[in-house]
Amino acid sequence: MNYQAAQFEISAAKLRDCPTDSVAEVAFAGRSNAGKSSAINTLTRQGQLARTSKTPGRTQLINYFRVDQGRYLVDLPGYGYAKVPLKVKDDWQVHLEHYLNAREPLLGLILVTDIRHVFKDFDLMMIDWARQNQLPLHVLLTKSDKLKRGAIQEALMKARKELEGMADASVQAFSSLKRQGVDILSQRLDGWLEPADEAPAEPAVDQ
Ligand code: GDP
């Protein structure tokens, strides 16, 4: 897939506002400041793309970037904005849960987290959710340029341990600053978003 061709499509407040033509989408989730916007911008080589999601008023929305016909990257609202009142946080959680539980074209989840904080509560919640719902998961440990090689390996091992027993879960180190790990991420996304020739679209889900 050519992720550089990604274009902003729509900001959705509710599930019913999400694109109706979607056949495959992958959602990016993460605590605010984890490096989610930077990762999306690095992947798409578009410095401004995920800025949409940071526009005041849009931080609580589900932002869609179209990669190809019916194929989308989805930027979920960043979790944990300090300035957001508790009530909005509750609403956010309800929306997110609704999206994650009910969105049929959702084929995979990218969990973005700072490699120096493997894992915080929100991350564990998302991992648990993916496990319970058998949704394929890929963890991006961002800002890997902040650590030395040994510490990166340690973080990867710690993360892998947490993902143990999951049918389709993976983890990688990633740096937007150094553009490291982009190929691995692209390949994982391709596995979800590219039209499958032989395999059924949702092999991991029990119907
Ligand atoms: P978001 O809130 O998850 O979308 O996080 P941002 O992408 O806005 O990044 C939060 C902060 O971390 C910003 O100051 C970024 O410049 C910084 N950042 C993001 N990715 C990296 C990275 O790979 N390396 C380093 N050193 N800093 C990063």
Which of 176, 179, 180 has most ligand 1 atoms within 8 Å of CB, for mutation? 176
**pLDDT for the residue numbered 32:** 86
The residue whose C-alpha atom lies closest to atom 20 belonging to ligand 1 is: 35
Ligand 1 centroid from CA 203, angstroms: 34
> In what order do the strands lie in the sheet containing 169-173?
7-12, 62-68, 71-75, 24-30, 106-114, 137-142, 169-173
Residues whose beta carbon lies within 6 Å of some atom of ligand 1: 30, 32-38, 78, 142-143, 145-146, 175-177
Ligand 1 centroid from CA 111, angstroms: 14
How, if at all, do strands 62-68 and 71-75 pair?
A: antiparallel
Ligand 1 centroid from CA 165, angstroms: 30
The residue whose C-alpha atom lies closest to atom 19 belonging to ligand 1 is: 35
Render pLDDT for 86-118 as a digit per residue (tens, 0 to 9).
666 677 777 788 899 999 999 999 999 999 999
Model's pTM, two decimal places? 0.90
**Assigned CATH for 3-193:** 3.40.50.300
Q: Are the CB atoms for 108 and 139 separated by under 8 Å?
A: no
| Among 101, 116, 88, 107, CA closest to 174 | 116
| pLDDT tier, 201 (very low <50, low <70, confident <90, very high otherwise) | low
Q: What is the 3-state secondary structure (H, E, C) of 42-62?
A: HHHCCCCHHHHHHCCCCCCCE
Ligand 1 centroid from CA 143, angstroms: 7
Q: Are the CB atoms for 131 and 166 separated by under 8 Å?
A: yes
Ligand 1 centroid from CA 105, angstroms: 28
Residues 60-80 have a mean pLDDT of 90
**pLDDT for the residue numbered 51:** 73
The residue whose C-alpha atom lies closest to atom 28 belonging to ligand 1 is: 143
Which of 24-28, 92-96, 109-113, 157-161 is the least confident region? Answer: 92-96
Q: Which stretches of the chain are DSSP H helices?
A: 36-44, 86-102, 121-133, 149-163, 182-193
Ligand 1 centroid from CA 27, angstroms: 18
The residue whose C-alpha atom lies closest to atom 9 belonging to ligand 1 is: 35
